């Protein structure tokens, strides 16, 4: 039991869960303090709203959730105030007025599910018991909700905000190691299709995490990311290209293209695993440094020299073509990673790449060959 608790503790610390716990508590405390200072009668609604908004782990998600909370609250508040006016100046009961106002909001939520907070606001404004002037208490509740949103925004920006750059580089290192596993498994005489498909699923997930991290970084540094941290902006595209090449090689391997290549297969496999491992280690070191801090690039030239070499006389034409593409894209990635993206060698758009950007393994028996590019030429015998 102590060992399991220790592993859980390390997992929480490693994933930054403790940051989220601290931010949630800070958001709750500040929401309560602000609601009390501005003399809101029902500060509990500020606390509830702050929990809903701050539970998002990413800044982009917090902004999106907060924006939905604000828009939905305003729509629900307008519906609630209209309902109170109908109740006051007509003979309709509260229940009847509620259903009249609920219908258009239900249509809105059916079209825009993220606006469901509008219905919650209508219920809070109209159905919860209130004393005093008909319109004063609903306005207090709306102010409480807006207070929770604003405080959550502030906490998300200023309290223990995770650095998206570090996250992108860490995921890049993990992705490079998974690509190493993928190529290591593919460059065998008889590759295991199911094992390769499992690794590719992890690669897809890591690529998505990288894209999310880049969006987060663009929010953290609007209009300056390309200038001050170009590597973070380029990495997803660079590694997506390498993954596409690796998928092509893996498919070719599962269709028998590596069955008779002998020792050259092991030599190529060992070289790629070593180079990808060094690229992953470089990303880890970059993640551990501050933005703008330059690492020495003494070991870049030997990697490029190794990738320039291709003992292709024993490869089939398809494998010679695929390995050549992989080497070229890995050289491009190495130059970018070792220069922090400050190089003229940037990834051209994926639609210009000879392999499909989102290529992947299909269930066995349904695998389709990767289409060759127009204008790049098919491998010839």
Residue 296 three-state SS: coil
Which regions of the chain are under pLDDT 70?
Answer: 1-18, 54-66, 129-132, 134, 160-163, 219-225, 256-264, 291-292, 310-315, 344-381
Q: Does one domain contain both 206 and 66?
A: no
What is the pLDDT at residue 243? Answer: 93
Quick check: is 374 in a domain?
A: no
- Which of 106, 133, 158 is at the close of a domain? 158
* Tokens of residue 59, six digits: 């800044």
How many structural domains does the chain have?
2
Quick check: is 348 in a domain?
A: yes
Report how far residue 315's alpha carbon sits from residue 127's, in angstroms, rounded to the nearest whole number. 74
Report how far residue 248's alpha carbon sits from residue 250's, in angstroms, rounded to the nearest whole number. 5
Quick check: is 94 in a domain?
A: yes
What is the pLDDT at residue 381? Answer: 37
pTM of the model: 0.63
Q: Which long-range contacts (CB under 8 A, 24 or more apart) does 106-112 make?
A: 108/75
* Residue corresponding to tokens 């060759």: 372
- Which of 107, 142, 158 is at the close of a domain? 158
E-assigned strand segments in the chain: none
Residues shown for the chain: 381
What is the pLDDT at residue 261? Answer: 57
Q: Does one domain contain both 225 and 347?
A: yes
Report how far residue 305's alpha carbon sits from residue 31's, in angstroms, rounded to the nearest whole number. 58
What is the pLDDT at residue 278? Answer: 92
Domain of 235 in residue numbering reads as 164-352
Q: Does one domain contain both 185 and 154?
A: no
Question: How many alpha carbons fall within 13 Å on the CB side of residue 379?
Answer: 18
């Amino acid at each position: 039991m102590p060992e399991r608790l220790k592993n859980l503790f390390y997992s929480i610390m490693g994933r930054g869960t403790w940051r989220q716990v601290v931010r949630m508590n800070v958001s709750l405390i500040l929401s309560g303090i602000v609601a009390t200072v501005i003399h809101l009668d029902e500060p509990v609604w500020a606390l509830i709203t702050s929990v809903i908004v701050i539970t998002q782990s990413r800044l982009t998600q917090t902004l999106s959730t907060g924006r939905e909370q604000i828009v939905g609250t305003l729509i629900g508040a307008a519906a609630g105030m209209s309902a109170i006016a109908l109740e006051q100046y007509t003979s309709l009961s509260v229940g009847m007025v509620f259903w009249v106002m609920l219908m258009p909001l239900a249509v809105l939520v059916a079209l825009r599910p993220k606006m469901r907070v509008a219905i919650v606001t209508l219920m809070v404004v109209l159905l919860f018991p209130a004393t005093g002037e008909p319109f004063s208490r609903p306005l207090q509740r709306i102010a409480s909700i807006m207070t929770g949103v604003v405080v959550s925004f502030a906490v998300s920006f200023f309290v223990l905000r995770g650095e998206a750059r570090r996250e992108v580089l860490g995921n890049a290192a993990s992705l490079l190691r998974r690509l190493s596993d993928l190529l290591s498994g593919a460059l065998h005489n008889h590759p295991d299709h199911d094992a390769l498909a499992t690794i590719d699923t992890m690669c897809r997930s890591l690529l998505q995490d990288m894209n999310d991290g880049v969006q987060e970084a663009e929010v953290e540094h609007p209009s300056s990311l390309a200038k001050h941290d170009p590597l973070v902006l380029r990495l997803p595209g660079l590694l997506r290209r390498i993954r596409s090449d690796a998928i092509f090689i893996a498919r070719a391997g599962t269709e028998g293209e590596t069955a008779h290549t002998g020792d050259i297969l092991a030599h190529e496999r060992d070289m790629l695993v070593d180079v990808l491992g060094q690229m992953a280690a470089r990303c880890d070191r970059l993640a551990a440094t501050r933005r703008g801090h330059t690492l020495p690039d003494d070991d870049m030239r030997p990697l490029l020299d190794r990738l320039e070499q291709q003992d292709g006389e024993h490869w089939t034409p398809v494998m010679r073509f695929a390995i050549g593409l992989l080497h070229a894209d890995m050289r491009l990635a190495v130059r970018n990673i070792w220069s922090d993206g400050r190089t003229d060698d940037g990834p051209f758009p994926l639609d210009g790449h000879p392999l499909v950007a989102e290529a992947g393994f299909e269930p066995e028996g349904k695998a389709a060959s990767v289409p060759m590019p127009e204008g790049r030429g098919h491998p010839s015998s």
